[in-house]
Amino acid sequence: MDEKRLFSQALAARARAYTPYSHFAVGAALLCADGTVYTGCNIENAAFTPTVCAERVAFFKAVSDGHRDFAAIAVAGAPEGTAPDSLCAPCGVCRQVMAEFCRVESFRVLLGTTPEDMRAYTLADLLPLAFSGDML
């Protein structure tokens, strides 16, 4: 899967974001090791804390379908109705969920504004010294 195409899928997923409170729409596209792609959007809630980020929606859809091996995730976010003009960095909770299932040194996190204006980080870049199940 071409990473530019993955980023386009994250941009497209933003259209389905449910954001009546923040009005900030995020889309994510998660590439599984077997090539399957799961998209996600943020889904907000009047009680605020049940809100789920786009990245976790993509992960939980994939894991609940039986996937546990992942290569990359693309993330795009901006106020709803506008195109991204800066990168949308995954929140700490989403980074921790990524660390549960991904090798931090090789899992790629694609951030940016367009397929032509994105760069790949590793999860280790975003979550150094991650807490993991190995420590339990």
Which pair of structure tokens corresponds to residue 11? Answer: 């941009």
If the CB atoms of residues 67 and 95 are measured against ligand THU, the closer one turns out to be 95
What is the identity of the amino acid at 96?
Q
Residue 80 annotated as catalytic: no
In the set 3, 44, 55, 100, the catalytic residue is 55
Identify residues 14-43 at the interface with ligand THU (CB under 6 A). Answer: 19, 22, 24, 26, 42
Distances (CA, A) of 93 to 56, 80, 116: 9, 22, 28
If the CB atoms of residues 20 and 35 are measured against ligand THU, the closer one turns out to be 20
Q: Is 75 in the site for ligand THU (CB under 6 A)?
A: yes
What distance in Å separates the CA atoms of residue 122 and residue 108, rounded to the nearest whole number?
A: 5
CB of 105 to ligand THU, least distance (A): 21
Question: To which H or E segment does residue 60 belong?
Answer: helix 54-64
Identify residues 51-70 at the interface with ligand THU (CB under 6 A). Answer: 51, 53-55
Of 49-57, 59-67, 98-106, 124-132: span binding ligand THU (CB under 6 A): 49-57
What's CA 6's distance to the chain center, in Å? 11
φ, ψ at 116 (rounded to 5°): -85, -15
Residues identified as active-site? 55
